[in-house]
Structure 1
């Protein structure tokens, strides 16, 4: 008999030592059937906090006549007799139960447990969230009363039954792999896994969609289908037919709104392809930019039977194209188009490396959980792309060891590789969807990463320069080197023990005493170098980045004081130690008869070589072209240092290696012009006069009716009165939030200011029912924070850096946008300083040619967050009075659509806003 007892508790808080249970819900499952339900209020002997009552609906009067826990303790404990305890977050519920039982003199529960949070993460690795309500919705389980004990327990019971069903359908190899990991998990799954393994061994046939490599079951990807090419006819007739077929447009898009700008964009891109010219196209919000370039790209690729590369700024946008837009495109077109997504090798899991790591033991909890997630996911994924799932935070360190990038050998004929499969699909596709980072790496690499192409579309092209600069430069930090050294370890650590077992000849090639001495010296020199850089930046740093780091440029040749010369000596010593280690690794590699059997060895050797080259370039190579600087986490560890080198300009290499070699490159974004001109983006990217044409396609939205821009004249000067400015900003936010019921996004240019505003708003809103969500303070990615913001009725979202663009919050979810200050780059950022000096040396004005255009483009990106459809409306509050008081403020106002601008005191603006809204 299989007996499981599911428990959920509502409590007065989160501390088992001071808080009490106020409601218990218990559901019993016997042999896969729910057989009993139990629920009771419990008197905690203390008032229930307001926020708990608001969350659960349980008030003091509900528990006033309820029994204290000690009266039902024996009954509750008895329900778990000879059963497995299940809870959604076992440590919380079991911890409270055991604290209460101990306080009553009863022994703690010692029965086996299953945590449905953990089990859900393993068995449904592609779910967005594992909160009970979210995972229940994901699995189509109805939840009557969230945050009530019996309802939560009942839903958890249904969830467990679904999880059990899925576990019992896993391939036997996966169950066997999980069995080896299970002892490090919270959940006692050994009985179920053993049962599944036995059932699988008795099954007559293996699932034909599953293959096995070294004991790892994985899903066989569907092979690309080479469909017959079809005649496409003349583009003019094709595009006219496409946009006149309203029935099909409504079928594909749902509610379709006529978008003349989309058709115009498609025709312009086709003309660029035919004339073999480059093009810069600014497509305003609402144009339907994505289909404006996908349609001509698909047509041209099909007509010429060649490949066209489409590059986006992020891998998330790549995924959106492949998962959402390409399927719609296929429904829309009159012919079949093949598309493939290609990312860097880091994104693809390696079956070979995972197999080797599974043989090396279980590892800590995060590694064990990561291995379990990967084993199940591999039975479902066709891509092997890690972006499909979320690993525990520390699991990504482990993932680096098992991604395709970690492989250092030629694949054998019988070895399946997700990365090679992605490349094969890309080689057979019409449209190759990649990202700026991989595209630029391909441009600057000796080894081709992308199939050959002559036409390319760069979406979000305003980000292309920074992506190219990062790929042309380098980044190095303490954790990177420390992680590699830790993986090597001393002679008696697990890495060398494993190496000696697989290749005994290694022991004859290296002196253990010499290795340990050099290894310890390298660790010491690494720590000393980065601690001294931290101290150097702390004493000389000028300003903070938008994510709150202090930064300092490397001193030039004539500016190097004694402290910096000491740092260079330490860097030289570290380089020497790493060379010594690498020389021993090289000797060891020569002694191994089959080096291919130890790819991690090869990987670590290559990593140390890369670190040596990077340290040399950073500290000892003076070329005048690259800007070098250091950033520190001012309140972090004393070696939390990040070193950067980037070229002051990428215009020349982009022109030489990209634009001059491609027949047609189309650059598109919603924000490419400054004051109606493309000059800034053209010069930054190195496009030659006469090699391109440009066009602005304005947004179809009625901004005059949809937006009110509010500019208070009485705000303190943001540059000289920061504390007063923050108080005024928070007061204005709260007043505006009352009108819009939250639904507000506040954009900052500084993480420090964001933190101060968040702290002040939190104190003021303590007794209010607004939900504050802040980047860098509230846990979660940008996507997760945005989804959380949309899920609350009255929420305020605070963001910096990446929140100025790329987030889409349509409809009533966003009714107010606050821009705290104009988004100028910090004037003391080393990269900006170097670029400004270069312009000055040419007799040009760096403010008007660099700082102002960059800020205006950023401002336009932020402004575009508010209106995402014809039906949106709301306010934009600009708190930086420079926009109306400075001579350059007109550039910002002229860069955005013409909207009503209301100025006056803050109080007057709030009253006008109340009337308009």
Structure 2
């Protein structure tokens, strides 16, 4: 298919359409039978151009000073593009910016059809890493050496469109393109996209028979299942695998025998064989993942058992499945099957997806169409149905669409479903049942525990890696949470009316009733209509509750949360909950009356009788669960539970954004009764679960002190921290609560970065401190040509880490999520700055409630909770610095409490590196200069 168009890109001084300026416009005309025509113009700015923009674009002051005025440039640009289709990558920015400047200068806005290659990339390339122009250009092998220059980006955008057209022709069948075209007609402001899809369909109707197989170029990420069946399987031991000249050594050039890894592997295997519980702290560099994977495979092969391995982070899951298990498969002649299993909410439902194709107009608003379009190609070619492999779909942004197609335990028909054989969730669960090793995350582990192993089936052997996260995750995972979107989605599943369209379970039942012949038809229809009327009349009260909750938090809360200490403090909550419980009881009776009538119908007389019966049974079950939740919130146990309100961030001020959360303060007994008692063997491991080489604190929080004979093992890191690292504590600085602390600490950050000339990561305990440091230092670092990457400034965590490692001697500012799970080896990170000791925020609702409970029990809450948590977090932060034997670096702590408080010695003793206490900022610079001059 051929298409004539003009590709356009602009460079600006920032993102604000009104305040910022356009400094370059580039455009390239692509026509069917001639060479491209180029248009490039610089625009003389009225304000100073930020230095980072010049660095990004490589546009010089000379080029800008000799540029045209904005009016001249816009006039020439409009003449160049004429009436052609305009193509941009992220058109809402380029066209939005251009139209703003056109209006500002008394020009009419652009009336050209606009096509966005960002939209097309998200629709047709859901398998690539992301949809930035550079990433898409790389995929199609389009040179973009001069990125962030308008003319080159415009040319690349045009070439991307041409390649996407060819890609569609080779890979996407007519039926899929036709579906995309049909759905795009529901868009109200993307006529260019609809026009394009129509042209694709028109073209393919003429050429469809030329293609026999589509999708050869479409592959999604990593597999979720590994099967290893070696030709000549052999029995092996731990030593066979790990020793020098062993199985791993024979397959890897730089293999290094680690005594600690062997010690841990033997301990894990012994633990399985003797059906014991084991706690293992394995220092950085031990290689703990292979030290538990190998014994897991050896044990399950001999005993026909299954080992569940639970992790906290996606990074570790990917390491296990993409790196470690393939390593074992390559090295070890022991058969095994491994499955990566996620929670139900990650998988699309085949039946619900089909329903969307039949009733799209009834189910989706015009605002949800773009999100839906990003599912169509992915759904056609996915083998797993796991939404995380779709880079085009954002669960937080597109959550409302996902809820309409995601697998739902209340609507799942199981084996009765016509799509059971093709069900993504059931297929992966079946593979998990037959696997030796099943990898999950902590959320699924805890959720499965509450649902009596409905997701994992029966298992007796469990490994929990990153186990230090469980005490923090468990209370919320094992607690209760309700919000407006949850109830609204439930009501929509029951009954929804949009314009003149009606949908939902009750409408499905009503339709089936009218088409069936049975004596109780009128009575059933009357019960259905009565229930629909009830829902329409009463569901607004839910909106009122969550609106009031959100407003209250925004007025009185801290950081979007507000704890409920006494029921009398917020009487409106309990008044509204009381009304809702009454309504819920009435709804339950309405559904029960429908079920009573339905139960009198002979199965053979009613269309899809089993399906509707299952729906009604599941709805009743769901109503019962919600009723239990509502009554727990209405009669809260405020001594043993934390109860608080939250306000979700939303751009719609009218949206009911409140949430109610209710969590147990102690989870030890729950873990013991619902998890430990069902296991033969458990291994908990992490790099940071001891304090002063004692497991006491972790054991208490996990409930292991309730058990007998839990084994413990500390495997030291193979790194020489005395030689590889140095801890500098700025004990001379003011106390963190002092008003001068922040400014003096920021000055030390600035001087330390300049003195060391090292890759630097500064970790903060609050966004406020981090943003204050960013505001104070960003211009200075810019003038010194030091790249600064800061969390929350428009880049994802992954993108920040990638850019940080790409730029030598750069600086990264991060908060809580960067304190762990970050692996930056080598020169990219040689200076780690800890702004404050990582104490939890005492006003955080669940923290505050737990502190009060400890004090009520006569315990020192600081020593029993705040301090141990801070020490473990401190160790996790330190662990970011030294990742390999060749790494060298300094940890600079700006919190003087390590020196001035009695408990400071705990922080000194918990780190294996030498700690020094300089007396001034000049001494810090001297330490840094001498350290980095050695390497």
Q: Normalising by the residue count of structure 2, what TM-score does the alignment of the two structures yield? A: 0.86
Report what 2:700 is aligned to: 683
- Find the partner of 1:552 among 563, 568, 574: 563
Shift of 1:117: 1.3
- Judge which range, 518-527 or 806-815, deviates more: 518-527
Do the aligned residues in 2 keep the contact of 1:711 with 1:904 (CA within 8 Å)?
A: no
- Unmatched tracts of structure 1, length 5 or more: 212-216
Instruction: Supply the distance in 2 between the matched residues of 1:256 and 1:244 (Cα, whole angstroms).
Output: 10
Shift of 1:54: 2.8
Count of matched residue pairs: 891
Residue 7 in 1 paired to residue 12 in 2? Answer: no
Residue 400 in 1 paired to residue 399 in 2? Answer: no
Shift of 1:576: 1.9
Do the aligned residues in 2 keep the contact of 1:707 with 1:900 (CA within 8 Å)?
A: no
- Find the partner of 1:731 among 747, 753, 766: 747
Instruction: Supply the distance in 2 between the matched residues of 1:525 and 1:233 (Cα, whole angstroms).
Output: 63
Structure 1 residues 378-407: Cα deviation after superposition (integer angstroms, max 9, x where no partner): 233221111222424431221022111263
Describe the SS at the equivalent of 2:918: strand
Report what 2:726 is aligned to: 708
Distance 1:380-1:400 versus aligned 2 partners, 3 A rule: same
Distance 1:16-1:488 versus aligned 2 partners, 3 A rule: same
Describe the SS at the equivalent of 2:414: coil
Distance 1:97-1:627 versus aligned 2 partners, 3 A rule: closer
Q: What pairs with 1:95-494 in structure 2 (closer than 5 Å)?
A: 95=96, 109-168=110-169, 169-183=171-185, 184=187, 185=190, 187=193, 188-195=195-202, 197-198=204-205, 201-203=208-210, 205=212, 227=229, 231-240=233-242, 244-245=246-247, 248-250=250-252, 255-361=254-360, 363-364=364-365, 367-390=368-391, 391-392=393-394, 393-405=396-408, 407-411=411-415, 412-415=417-420, 416-446=422-452, 448-482=454-488, 484=490
- Find the partner of 1:750 among 762, 766, 783: 766
Q: What pairs with 1:463-542 in structure 2 (closer than 5 Å)?
A: 463-482=469-488, 484=490, 496=502, 502=508, 503-504=510-511, 508=526, 509-511=528-530, 514-528=534-548, 531=551, 538=556
Distance 1:466-1:522 versus aligned 2 partners, 3 A rule: closer
Describe the SS at the equivalent of 1:660: helix
Distance 1:328-1:665 versus aligned 2 partners, 3 A rule: same
Report what 2:667 is aligned to: 650
Shift of 1:857: 1.1
Instruction: Supply the distance in 1 between the matched residues of 2:64 and 2:724 (Cα, whole angstroms).
Output: 50
Instruction: Supply the distance in 1 between the matched residues of 2:901 and 2:278 (Cα, whole angstroms).
Output: 34
Distance 1:398-1:238 versus aligned 2 partners, 3 A rule: same
Instruction: Supply the distance in 1 between the matched residues of 2:620 and 2:208 (Cα, whole angstroms).
Output: 42
Distance 1:497-1:93 versus aligned 2 partners, 3 A rule: same
Report what 1:896 is aligned to: 911
Instruction: Supply the distance in 2 between the matched residues of 1:429 and 1:435 (Cα, whole angstroms).
Output: 17
Do the aligned residues in 2 keep the contact of 1:805 with 1:862 (CA within 8 Å)?
A: yes
Q: What pairs with 1:768-807 in structure 2 (closer than 5 Å)?
A: 769-775=785-791, 777-793=792-808, 795-807=810-822
Shift of 1:669: 0.5
Report what 1:214 is aligned to: none
Residue 718 in 1 paired to residue 736 in 2? Answer: yes
Distance 1:778-1:92 versus aligned 2 partners, 3 A rule: closer
Shift of 1:5: 2.5
Distance 1:601-1:652 versus aligned 2 partners, 3 A rule: closer
- Judge which range, 319-328 or 826-835, deviates more: 826-835
- Judge which range, 331-340 or 107-116, deviates more: 107-116
Shift of 1:65: 4.8
Do the aligned residues in 2 keep the contact of 1:554 with 1:630 (CA within 8 Å)?
A: no
Report what 2:602 is aligned to: none
Do the aligned residues in 2 keep the contact of 1:232 with 1:299 (CA within 8 Å)?
A: no
- Judge which range, 339-348 or 854-863, deviates more: 854-863
Report what 1:852 is aligned to: 867
Do the aligned residues in 2 keep the contact of 1:525 with 1:574 (CA within 8 Å)?
A: no
Residue 699 in 1 paired to residue 717 in 2? Answer: yes
Compute the RMSD of aligned alpha carbons. 3.8
Instruction: Supply the distance in 2 between the matched residues of 1:824 and 1:74 (Cα, whole angstroms).
Output: 59
Describe the SS at the equivalent of 2:380: coil
Describe the SS at the equivalent of 1:250: coil
Instruction: Supply the distance in 2 between the matched residues of 1:98 and 1:842 (Cα, whole angstroms).
Output: 65
Distance 1:230-1:684 versus aligned 2 partners, 3 A rule: farther
Report what 2:35 is aligned to: 35
Shift of 1:465: 2.6
Distance 1:246-1:614 versus aligned 2 partners, 3 A rule: closer
Do the aligned residues in 2 keep the contact of 1:178 with 1:193 (CA within 8 Å)?
A: no
Describe the SS at the equivalent of 1:248: coil
Distance 1:260-1:165 versus aligned 2 partners, 3 A rule: farther
Distance 1:112-1:446 versus aligned 2 partners, 3 A rule: same
Instruction: Supply the distance in 1 between the matched residues of 2:123 and 2:630 (Cα, whole angstroms).
Output: 40
Distance 1:801-1:247 versus aligned 2 partners, 3 A rule: closer
- Unmatched tracts of structure 2, length 5 or more: 514-523, 599-605
Shift of 1:339: 0.8
Distance 1:22-1:553 versus aligned 2 partners, 3 A rule: closer
Q: What pairs with 1:605-620 in structure 2 (closer than 5 Å)?
A: 609-620=624-635
Do the aligned residues in 2 keep the contact of 1:491 with 1:516 (CA within 8 Å)?
A: no
Describe the SS at the equivalent of 1:798: strand
Residue 630 in 1 paired to residue 634 in 2? Answer: no
- Judge which range, 875-884 or 102-111, deviates more: 102-111
Q: Normalising by the residue count of structure 1, what TM-score does the alignment of the two structures yield? A: 0.87
Instruction: Supply the distance in 2 between the matched residues of 1:208 and 1:13 (Cα, whole angstroms).
Output: 39
Shift of 1:665: 0.7
Describe the SS at the equivalent of 1:402: coil
Residue 62 in 1 paired to residue 78 in 2? Answer: no
Shift of 1:21: 4.8
- Judge which range, 374-383 or 345-354, deviates more: 374-383
Do the aligned residues in 1 keep the contact of 2:312 with 2:465 (CA within 8 Å)?
A: yes
Structure 1 residues 147-198: Cα deviation after superposition (integer angstroms, max 9, x where no partner): 2223212222232222212222212222122111223246342244314642
